[in-house]
Structure 1
Amino acid sequence: MTFSHARRRLHLAAALDRRSVRDADEYAADARLAERGALDFVTLGDGPAAPDALAVLSRVAPGTRRVGLVPTVTTTRAEPFRVQAAVATLDRVSRGRAGWRIEVSTTEGEARLLCHQGSALSVGDASALPRPPQGHPVRVVDATDRPARAVAARYADVALVRAVLPAQAAAARDELRASAAAHGRDPDALRILAALDVDLGDGECAADPCHGGGPRPTPRGPLYRGGPIGLAELIAAWHRDGTVDGFHVTPVDPRRDLERLVNGTVSLLQHRGLFRTFYPGSTLRDHLDLARPANGCAPARGVS
């Protein structure tokens, strides 16, 4: 395949999720590896059997300098103002590199798990905490399901879509951009990344030929199985054609696949001039070419 230079900046991110790992130092090592490849950000999931993603990435922050840190923080298990304060604190300790991956309940059964009783909730004033460096930490939403897609179009800075074919991803992108515009947003202020599980255990072998070298459907979502070179070709093709702004990759084998992603796939994209070799800015919004939002709580200035 011949790589061509794209005018739009390519964005790449990776998940750090590891089963049964509780040592924050291991997550820090993975984050530094991602930073060595100049990835935009890393994510860490949350759940009953997983370590506290926000706490882990707060521990990772001092050991990294540029890579964005995006934990999943579920508001069904914490008061909204506590989530706001915690994510804003991560933004401060990381000097503007924090994001927040928002999980959207898509079924009534999920919503019932909250089990909250109360007549009202009132927040009477703006937060007493200083405004975080980015203004608002970057909001990331998995926009594959329809309810989550509506939330992403209205509020997200980064939307993740799952698709096995470029046409599917392009359709989701067009829908998200149109919906964002309908909500009064600039569609160009929304980054849309294809979410993809990757199994790079085949080394330099070609991608699974049963699906034309592209992702194949699985119960977990799209899966790419092949080598780093084939993955680089897939990323370059989907980005070159304007299908997505980039990829969020979840390694099947975290230790092996993240190393092959950075040292193989990313290195090849950098060599071809398709992905940056250094961070041009210091904040996650800088990496994603997103403007710092205005302060909605600032007092209005008089007009002369």
Structure 2
Amino acid sequence: MPAPLVRSPVHLAVAIDGAGHYDAAHFTALARLAERGTLDFVTLGDSFARPGLDAPAVLARVAPATERIGLVPAVNTTHTEPFHLSSAIATLDWVSRGRAGWSPEVSTTETEARLFGRRPAANAADAWHEAGEVADVAARLWDSWEDDAEIRDESTGRFVDRDKLHHVDFEGRTFSVRGPAIVPRPPQGHPVTVIDATAARPRAAAVRHADVALVRTQDPLSARTTRQELRDRARAHGRDPERLRVLGSVPVELHTTADAVELAALIGDWHAQGSVDGFHLRPADPERDLGLLVGATVPVLQHRCLLRRFYPGATLREHLGLARPVNQYALTGGSPS
């Protein structure tokens, strides 16, 4: 008889979005709760279409108050300078000691464009093409410092080895970046890129640039088909599909421990079918639902050996089983790949 199929434990992430919250303690408490449940990461949404705090800044505040949980803010690539974006996410990776990610999003409305006044609204196709270019140049900027570029030699007064700093010289459709970065290479090399790949245009960006692809579905067969498509398309772009994690992004609304146990059964069933690599859960009420998730769902999953009981690693890449990327400039002798 063939050997039974052995699957890795489930990856779990949770959204901690909540309108009307302007107190960092609120988000810190949610992130700590998710960390108590050994979840891989939390996501925090952001939008220019509504009032709210800046997601990368909030999670930079949460970082020193947590120890292991990954921190993934949404970042709008349409109206954010790529150089500033890459610096903010690299900074988040440093202050969290290697637990940062980012989730590219785009803006296509005139209302949001008028907030900045730099250019008219882009259509979805152009905005997502630009998002892909931003992901590309961000990776180049993170690599523009080699890992050992800092020398801090007090005797000579040299802070960096200039031979290990590299100009990016990137020309996109709507922007250009020379580089190098002003922030040293992040602890993870590249913070984790998380893209909601439900729709066609962001899916095209995900197969090229994402470490984690989110798929909004409540059907395990559809999820499995989409996962295979994403992996096949990633392979066609020269990527190793084993380095792409596909998470089902599902809404959850928990009122009792029975609901939390039912959720564990759903996660276990999808896992057994190989539909996804894990789940990104979107609570209706983060405080209530996350409390029940950690208090009831997580213990069931741990009892069934579907979820870790502790973090064996320290970085988000380690939580996800993803290798630290090789520096493309060091690998090619200083020329962009």
Say whether residues 1:141 and 2:195 are aligned partners.
Answer: yes
Distance in structure 2 (CA, Å) of the matches to 1:102 and 1:250: 18
Match of 1:16 in 2: 16
Alignment TM-score, normalising by the size of structure 1: 0.85
Could you tell me how far 1:5 is from its partner in structure 2? Answer: 9.2
Structure 2 counterpart of 1:195, which letter? S
Say whether residues 1:39 and 2:3 are aligned partners.
Answer: no
Q: 1:117 to 1:253 in 2, by over 3 A?
A: closer
Decide whether the 8 Å contact of 1:104 with 1:147 is kept in 2.
no
Decide whether the 8 Å contact of 2:14 with 2:43 is kept in 1.
yes
Q: 1:282 to 1:266 in 2, by over 3 A?
A: same
Structure 2 counterpart of 1:103, which letter? E
Match of 1:30 in 2: 30
Decide whether the 8 Å contact of 2:252 with 2:283 is kept in 1.
yes
Give the alignment's Cα RMSD to 1 decimal: 2.3
Residue of structure 2 aligned with 1:69, choices 71, 76, 86: 71
Could you tell me how far 1:197 is from its partner in structure 2? Answer: 0.9
Residue of structure 2 aligned with 1:261, choices 267, 284, 293: 293
Match of 1:224 in 2: none
Identity %: 54
Distance in structure 2 (CA, Å) of the matches to 1:121 and 1:243: 39
Structure 1 counterpart of 2:228, which letter? D
Distance in structure 2 (CA, Å) of the matches to 1:168 and 1:111: 33
SS of the residue corresponding to residue 141 of structure 1 reads: strand
Alignment TM-score, normalising by the size of structure 2: 0.77
Q: 1:41 to 1:98 in 2, by over 3 A?
A: same
Could you tell me how far 1:121 is from its partner in structure 2? Answer: 3.3
Residue of structure 1 aligned with 2:329, choices 276, 279, 297: 297
Q: Residues 227-277 of structure 1: CA distance to partner in whole angstroms, max 9, x if unpaired?
A: 001100000111121100000001101111000011111111011211000
Question: Can you give the 5+ residue segments of structure 2 that lack an aligned partner in the other structure?
Answer: 121-172
Say whether residues 1:241 and 2:243 are aligned partners.
Answer: no
Say whether residues 1:128 and 2:182 are aligned partners.
Answer: yes
Distance in structure 2 (CA, Å) of the matches to 1:79 and 1:126: 15
Match of 1:57 in 2: 59
Decide whether the 8 Å contact of 2:77 with 2:106 is kept in 1.
no
Q: Residues 209-237 of structure 1: CA distance to partner in whole angstroms, max 9, x if unpaired?
A: xxxxxxxxxxxxxxxxxx00110000011
Say whether residues 1:81 and 2:113 are aligned partners.
Answer: no
Distance in structure 2 (CA, Å) of the matches to 1:23 and 1:108: 29
Residue of structure 2 aligned with 1:199, choices 245, 249, 253: 253
The alignment of Structure 1 onto Structure 2 pairs a total of residues equal to: 276
SS of the residue corresponding to residue 293 of structure 1 reads: coil
Distance in structure 2 (CA, Å) of the matches to 1:301 and 1:142: 34
Could you tell me how far 1:6 is from its partner in structure 2? Answer: 4.7
Question: Can you give the 5+ residue segments of structure 1 that lack an aligned partner in the other structure?
Answer: 206-226
Which one has the bigger helix percentage? 2
Q: 1:236 to 1:295 in 2, by over 3 A?
A: same
Say whether residues 1:189 and 2:243 are aligned partners.
Answer: yes
Could you tell me how far 1:122 is from its partner in structure 2? Answer: 2.7
Q: Which 4+ stretches in 1 moved above 2 angstroms?
A: 4-7, 107-122, 297-302
Q: Which is further off, 110-119 or 241-250?
A: 110-119
Could you tell me how far 1:162 is from its partner in structure 2? Answer: 1.2
Decide whether the 8 Å contact of 1:98 with 1:137 is kept in 2.
yes
Distance in structure 2 (CA, Å) of the matches to 1:251 and 1:6: 30
Q: 1:156 to 1:110 in 2, by over 3 A?
A: farther
Q: Residues 166-196 of structure 1: CA distance to partner in whole angstroms, max 9, x if unpaired?
A: 1111111111011100000001100000001
SS of the residue corresponding to residue 280 of structure 2 reads: strand
Distance in structure 2 (CA, Å) of the matches to 1:110 and 1:256: 34
